[in-house]
Amino acid sequence: MEDISKKLEYKKTNGWENKDINKDTINEHNKSYMEFLSNYKTERQAVSYCIDSLKGKGFTEKTGNNFFITHKEKNVGIVRMPNNCDLTKGVNIIVSHLDCPRLDLKPNPLYEDTDLAYLKTHYYGGIKKYQWVSRALAIHGVIYNKEGQRIDISIGEDENDPVFFIADLLPHLSSKVQEDKKIKDAITGEQLNLLVGNIPYIPDEEEKDKKSSVKLNILKLLNEKYGITEEDFTTAEIEIVPAGKARELGFDRSMIGAYGHDDRVCSYNALQAIINAKNYDKPIVVWLVDKEEIGSDGNTGAKSAFIKQIIKQAFINLGEKPDAINIDECLFNSLAISGDVTGAYDPDWKEVFESRNSAKIGYGVSMEKYGGSRGKSGSSDANAEYVTKLRLLLNKNNIVWQTGELGKVDEGGGGTVAKYLAEYGMEIVDMGTPVLAMHSPMECCSKLDIYMTYKAYKLFLEKA
């Protein structure tokens, strides 16, 4: 007898139940991803990883059919073109972001109070401030000295490095000043001060009029090691991130706990997808952007004109003359995935999720037709024809996938870069990996979902 339920009902199950899953392949893929997460924590570092990977696979900068192009060390566009392709018919493009929520140093960060030296920070992106206190933090960034020479700084990742931290108040004294406050006020932005030292510089005999100074000792140490002075901070880009490596999570090691899944997970998988893509008959593009976490503004964000530079370079490499019309034509006719993570259903916070429509950990890569908030506001809402095309493609190729929507209606919401790319007229939909504890110092993703994100992206580039 016909199983009418199987024929008519749409049921999703835990992806690990799927008999075709190869756990070894999944683990191998995730091992490399964890190395990437552990060793490349800023957008500049992530771009350098991309460049090294691409060069290692025979891609060339700005030339040839397999090329990459970078911008300000914070963007990378990767293009592969079959011979005799017609760019004006559009490309298949995945756009993901490399920036992550973090703390940045202020231009005048260093000060001393009660013999403790601190660095003042200004947070970047949507963080819950209380999550950043009393934990090991690392410093990464670029700083230019008085001669304009660049110094790259990375302290706190090696186990022999010192780490830094922001002190929370002890519970013994926090009942009045902290515990009755709203959680968003429990730690303020101006309390996110990084503790960096306690030993004072002691003036010698001839400097009798001077006082001992912890701040001065820190500057002395920094000058000895990096040749920098206090003024150099004013123009530096220094990011404070959780120290330490990505870790397997759970007795069954089914998940990865790490800083930066949002959106390194989609960026990494998009990079691997375009590197490993085969038999694509259209030009394929991956664009990894910066500034998504602060609204995609700036000349390295998804609203910038760099996408046109990528397409312009593609025309040049094909020996064709790029102009405003054919670049627009290419973008207008393109198919796109906005590769970004989504908040996974959290059983401890059922009240904010709608279980039928939330992406779940372990249920595969998630496709979100729309995002936004309060009635899809600020969302590009993909077309039925396009999401159907992708759905059929995913099903035909046994990709474990699900639909996702960020929380209950009117509960909150969020946006991605999809709407900025949609302005060019291309078809675009969000597709990415579900994350638990998104935007926290330790986010959690399923290894299966991560691998399925890779599979889905590769399939999209090759066959969409």
- Going by C-alpha positions, the residue among 275, 434, 289 that lies closest to residue 353 is 434
Question: Considering the complex, what minimum distance in angstroms separates the CB of residue 93 from Mn ion?
Answer: 17
Question: Considering the complex, what minimum distance in angstroms separates the CB of residue 443 from Mn ion?
Answer: 10
- Going by C-alpha positions, the residue among 257, 244, 266, 123 that lies closest to residue 188 is 123
Helix (H) or strand (E) holding 452: helix 447-463
Q: Which residues pair with 75 in a beta bridge?
A: 71
Cβ atoms 367, 352 nearer than 8 A: no
Question: Considering the complex, what minimum distance in angstroms separates the CB of residue 439 from Mn ion?
Answer: 6
Q: List residues near Mn ion by CB under 5 A.
A: 262-263, 340
- Going by C-alpha positions, the residue among 282, 275, 293, 306 that lies closest to residue 421 is 306
Give 65 or 373: the residue with its C-beta nearer to Mn ion. 373
Please identify which residue in the block is written with the tokens 């209606």.
409
Give 219 or 422: the residue with its C-beta nearer to Mn ion. 422
Give 87 or 406: the residue with its C-beta nearer to Mn ion. 406
Question: Considering the complex, what minimum distance in angstroms separates the CB of residue 420 from Mn ion?
Answer: 13
For Mn ion, the nearest residue by Cβ is 263
> Both tokens of residue 403?
């639909």
Question: Considering the complex, what minimum distance in angstroms separates the CB of residue 434 from Mn ion?
Answer: 12
Question: Considering the complex, what minimum distance in angstroms separates the CB of residue 49 from Mn ion?
Answer: 18
Give 289 or 400: the residue with its C-beta nearer to Mn ion. 289
At what angle are helices 261-276 and 43-56 packed, to 10 degrees?
10
DSSP letters, 7-66, are HH------GGG-TT--HHHHHHHHHHHHHHHHH--SHHHHHHHHHHHHHHTT-EES-SSE
Give 98 or 214: the residue with its C-beta nearer to Mn ion. 98
Question: Considering the complex, what minimum distance in angstroms separates the CB of residue 126 from Mn ion?
Answer: 7
Give 233 or 268: the residue with its C-beta nearer to Mn ion. 268
- Torsion angle (degrees, nearest 10) of CA 72, 35, 93, 290: -30
Residue 37 CB partners (closer than 8 Å, separation 6+)? 245, 246, 256, 258, 259, 260, 261, 264, 268
Give 15 or 343: the residue with its C-beta nearer to Mn ion. 343
